Structure 1
Amino acid sequence: MDALTSSPFDPAALRRLGRLLLRVLSVLACVAAWQWASTRHADLGLLTFQNVPAPGEVLEAARALLESPRLEQHLKASVWRVFAGFAAAAAAGIALGLVIGRSRLLEDLLLPPLEVLRPIPAVAWIPLAILMFPSSEMSMVYITFIGALFPILLNTIHGVEGVDPRLVASARSLGAGRWTIFTEVILPAAAPSIVTGLSIGMGTAWFCLVTAEMISGQFGIGYYTWASYTIQNYPEIVVGMLFIGVIGMGSSVLVRKIGNLFLPWYLMQRTKR
């Protein structure tokens, strides 16, 4: 029976293989559409591919970057900036989200100014970041911090506010104190939402990378992308975009996987549904 369950023809394994195949096909379909539009210089009215490089040109530019000694410097600079900003945003966003979600007084005091800051795009922070921080490095970390902060903050608040009041009432009726309720009821119940916010925040930090590295003038994948735009090197622009997309996606998946290690009960509930 165990041999049958672990066989490659197991229905669950076939479903996973089918989903993986579907995802690969969706990517290949997008690349095929890109190849067709760029080689034919398609003009679709509102959308034109007159100057968009073909996948082959982008692949050649990617090969040149991979062989370049500057790639390691670009990656190290960008990864440091993103993860430093993300770590600070995770600490601040989770702490603020937990206290705002549990206290109406702190919600009234802290949430309004945060909501005013939330819609401001990352690029608008560049002049103020340069003025506030003595080094360009700290300015870039700050912009990735701002990008990651609000998804983490809002998901944490919603997770805390979404805790079933009956769970809190039951814990109180059993004699649990505030700290016990917080650590054993509120935090575990809000944890899935917090992990989601962390995953989104990591992606948003990478999203802000080009904006952050416009301040720089030397290294970083975002800087590489921006510098390629200024000299109109179109294949390298796409290479930089794809690097940011792939690394950002991988970082978000990594954060989600690590977060899920602390949520075994939640994963079991999802599996049963």
Structure 2
Amino acid sequence: MTTLQSSIMSIESEASVLQPDPAPLPASASSWRSRLLRITSVVAAIAAWQLLTANDVRLWLRFDTLPTVTDVVSAFGTQLRNDLFYLDLGQSLIRILSGFGLATVIGVAAGIALGRSTLFADVLGPLTELARPIPAIAVVPVAILLFPSDEAGIVFITFVAAFFPIMVSTRHAVRALPTLWEDSVRTLGGGRWDVLARVVLPGILPGVFGGLSVGIGVAWICVISAEMISGRLGVGYRTWQAYTIVDYPGVFVGMITIGILGFATSAAVELLGRRVTRWLPRGERA
């Protein structure tokens, strides 16, 4: 009897060890909790802004000089009924997409060439490293002198801003590829173009999209700055005009519009990157 009881107890202890841990929260519940936290943080920031500005709080910062949330919302509604707002919006989008599109094509091609060609790296590598630390906004005087129109100059500044992050990320991604992959393709009889199509291009996609995410953000910073300096239309130009006529709610409308545009384009790049690199393993977000 004692032996039987000990056997049962042993089986029960093993069963308790083998019993799976409690199931984690469903993915949908975790996703909703994350969204709720994000929305709550935005609402809390807006509420703090309204509280500080409506009560003319002046501590170390002068919140009494800033417009309230209600003033900005009212100005935003006025802008949404103005056709000029949509003209500025379209002009800024055309500039950012033109410059960023050129930077994507040329930056990826240059990054691959710098990473795989010693001759190309020796000839153009020093020039790119000398030009890379120069802020793109510092190129504004050169763009004004170089191009016959302000429009072409702003697109050029946007291109310069996005080109270097994309080129550098692509170059690093090319150099980080395992040589075993290329050796395997060549062993099977593949040529240079086979290596490029089957090894290099698929292998560098994560690095390329990392550079694109950085590039689109830097491009927005520079296109808005260029519009403020030498533009005729655009969200940046209109925001600066609002500041010159002391229309502070209009300034905040411009800032919020820029933030929304930047968020939307960055999210589009990230979504495209996830779709293109869907074969990669994805880690769970904490």
TM-score w.r.t. the length of structure 1 is 0.88
Do the aligned residues in 2 keep the contact of 1:226 with 1:237 (CA within 8 Å)? yes
RMSD of aligned Cα (Å): 2.3
1:180 lines up with 2:194 in the alignment: yes
1:31 to 1:131, Cα distance in 2 relative to 1, 3 A: same
SS for the counterpart of 2:63 is: coil
Which residue in 1 is equivalent to 2:6?
A: none
Which residue in 1 is equivalent to 2:21?
A: none
Larger CA Rg, structure 1 vs 2: 2
* Partner of residue 36 from structure 2, selected from 8, 11, 21: 21
Which residue in 2 is equivalent to 1:111?
A: 125
1:136 lines up with 2:150 in the alignment: yes
Cα deviation per residue 1:160-202 (whole Å; 9 max; x = unaligned)? 1121222223333333222111111111110111112122212
Q: Distance in 1 between matches of 2:51 and 2:125?
A: 49
* Partner of residue 173 from structure 2, selected from 131, 156, 159: 159
TM-score w.r.t. the length of structure 2 is 0.84
1:263 to 1:50, Cα distance in 2 relative to 1, 3 A: same
* Partner of residue 183 from structure 2, selected from 154, 158, 169: 169
Do the aligned residues in 1 keep the contact of 2:107 with 2:167 (CA within 8 Å)? yes
Q: How many residues align?
A: 263
Do the aligned residues in 2 keep the contact of 1:140 with 1:215 (CA within 8 Å)? no
Alignment of 1:1-16 (within 5 A): 11-16=26-31
Aligned-residue identity in percent? 41
Which residue in 1 is equivalent to 2:54?
A: 39
Q: Distance in 2 between matches of 1:113 and 1:120?
A: 12
1:187 to 1:44, Cα distance in 2 relative to 1, 3 A: farther
* 1:115, distance to aligned residue in structure 2 (A): 2.3
Cα deviation per residue 1:135-174 (whole Å; 9 max; x = unaligned)? 1110111111111111111111121112122222333333
1:65 lines up with 2:79 in the alignment: yes
Which ranges in structure 2 are unaligned for 5 or more consecutive residues? 1-24
* 1:102, distance to aligned residue in structure 2 (A): 1.3
* 1:262, distance to aligned residue in structure 2 (A): 2.1
The one-letter amino acid of 1:167's match is W
Which residue in 2 is equivalent to 1:89?
A: 103
Q: Distance in 2 between matches of 1:248 and 1:200?
A: 11
Q: Distance in 1 between matches of 2:122 and 2:62?
A: 48
Which residue in 2 is equivalent to 1:122?
A: 136
* 1:97, distance to aligned residue in structure 2 (A): 0.6
Do the aligned residues in 2 keep the contact of 1:122 with 1:211 (CA within 8 Å)? no
Cα deviation per residue 1:193-247 (whole Å; 9 max; x = unaligned)? 1112122212222121221213445321111111112222211111111101111
Which residue in 2 is equivalent to 1:5?
A: none
* Partner of residue 235 from structure 1, selected from 211, 233, 249: 249
Do the aligned residues in 2 keep the contact of 1:93 with 1:153 (CA within 8 Å)? yes
Which residue in 2 is equivalent to 1:6?
A: none
1:84 to 1:176, Cα distance in 2 relative to 1, 3 A: same
The one-letter amino acid of 1:208's match is C
* 1:123, distance to aligned residue in structure 2 (A): 2.8
SS for the counterpart of 1:232 is: coil
Q: Distance in 1 between matches of 2:165 and 2:73?
A: 33
1:149 lines up with 2:159 in the alignment: no
